[in-house]
Amino acid sequence: MRIRDFVTIICIALTVNINAIAVNDTIIIRSDTSADIITANLDSLVNSWYVKMALADNPDLLSDDSNGIMFTDSVYKERLGRINTIIRLPYGSIIRNHIHVYTVKKRELFSSIMGLKDYYFPMIENIFDSYGIPVELKYMAIIESALNPNAVSRVGATGLWQFMYSTGRSYGLTVNSIVDERRDPVKATHAAARYMKDLYAIYKDWILVIAAYNCGPGNVNKAIRRSGNKKDYWEIYYRLPRETRGYIPGFVAAMYAVNYYDLHKIKPLPLNFPVATDTIMINNDIHLDQISEVMKIPAGELRALNPQYRTGLVPGSAKPQALTLPVSHLGDFIDLNDTIRGYKSDVYLTNSIRLVDPSRSTYVPADVKGKTKLIYKVKEGDNLGFISEWYRVSLSDLRYWNNIYRNTIRIGQNLAIYVDPAKAGQYGGINEMSFAEKQAMIGKSAPVSVQPIASLLQNQTDGDYITHTVRYGDTIWDIVKMYDNVTISDILSLNGISDPQKIQVGQKLKIKKKS
């Protein structure tokens, strides 16, 4: 079977089953259920550079005429019991169905994951071990992205660990139109480990940590409350979002499939992935295409090893940036560094870094293509929450489109907002409305005194600490997102809080300043 024919078959399957599209190496998934997302992630690997190269050399690698091997429930249960893990692995019909996704329905594509895991799993294991995180949680990366650092979900979650913009920024990842560290496997894995550690400080249960990672602690907390304060995943199962109900079964199934793939006659796809790589810090601007052309390294390989550089530019002059290269090329790169930076510099490095003004920028995020771009000018009394309600967009999308960290905006700032073209006329006049008119449009009245978001936080600075006054609706998670480089465990330990769900309105919390 030719590669073109194989990809055509995959595309037909996608239109029938899961509705996912690929933009270059970026996969935008539009599925709703966990099983569909797992299927979409597996299909997305066809667009991974190393998989494409493997198929170009041998297009029959993924062809598999067998229907897969199924076993009895007792066999699956016994095998799961033999896996060494501190995480309790349940078994049931839902888990069996997820196992069949990997070992039967998508067995030929699961072989791609088996080809990638030798590159990604050792790195994940080392990082998780350094944080005291169970290394078994590495299987979450299969559920999240199928080990594809360029994966993008239908709601904009990005990278190996599928971070949303706000969460990624909260855990120290740089996200802008040049660099997106959510796609950096190493930095994103460090951020994921810190996030999981904070979640464990809340739940003291790794299964609930996995669930909260998928749908957010707010949804898990609601499920716990609505279930009479029960803190067992299976007791709150039907209170969780539909996708999360399938997430734990998907996790168990991924662990099973990786450990027992050979018993299902699945062969790892032989990928030419350089398992031996090294990282060098770059202090000047350089473009991946410069490196490719001078050193004769395929441009696709360089981008696959450095997916965080969205345009190919490594902006080292702004701050030192990490460049990953095969170990075999590292010495030559050091010797040729000046030659590489001088090669076609007028093409690759002229005006390489620009400040993005949304009103003039031609940059369009991949997940808003087809939508109409509007510009809103921030006015006295506005905050991001109000603006997101007026335009009927999510707060996280609004931050992502405008590279906003936390909730800080300034009067006169231009915000880019992407809306359905059919509603562009409806929203086009918002910029000229009074505050009362905008509130009336969404069925709300204007408060007697409208204050900017900074004053709503009711914070006071005192020496090495900021005092945060808890407002109605605040959770520890909400508060963490308001401050730079602060974690849940930081706030809990500093304020002597044992139960993060028992903070009260008016309570004063000390937040340590970070230098």
- Do residues 29 and 41 touch, judged by C-beta distance below 8 A? yes
Looking at this protein, which amino acid is placed at residue 381? Answer: G
User: How far is 478 from 482, CA to CA, in rounded Å?
Assistant: 7
Looking at this protein, which amino acid is placed at residue 508? Answer: K
Per run of 10 residues, the mean pLDDT along the chain (length 515 residues) is 37 32 34 53 58 63 65 94 88 90 86 87 94 94 90 86 90 90 95 95 94 92 93 90 87 94 88 78 92 91 92 88 91 89 84 44 55 87 83 80 69 86 85 84 59 40 71 67 69 77 76 70
User: How far is 178 from 340, CA to CA, in rounded Å?
Assistant: 20
| pLDDT at residue 351 in the model | 54
Q: For residue 466, how far is the Cα from the chain centroid? A: 30
User: How far is 161 from 181, CA to CA, in rounded Å?
Assistant: 11
| pLDDT at residue 308 in the model | 95
- Do residues 138 and 125 touch, judged by C-beta distance below 8 A? yes
| pLDDT at residue 173 in the model | 92
263: which 2 tokens? 């018993």
- Do residues 40 and 20 touch, judged by C-beta distance below 8 A? yes
104: which 2 tokens? 């039967």
HSE toward the beta carbon, residue 77, CA cutoff 13 A: 8
Residues 6+ apart with CB under 8 A from 354: none
SS3 content of the chain, % helix, strand, coil (to 5): 50, 10, 35
Q: Where are the beta strands (DSSP E) in 104-192?
A: 151-153
Tell me the domains of the chain and their CATH numbers: 64-148+161-264 (1.10.530.10), 277-348 (no CATH), 366-451 (3.10.350.10), 457-512 (3.10.350.10)
Q: What is the DSSP string of 415-443?
A: EEEEE-GGGHHHHHTGGGS-HHHHHHHTT
Beta strands 508-512 and 465-469 are antiparallel
Residues 6+ apart with CB under 8 A from 297: 291, 325, 326, 329
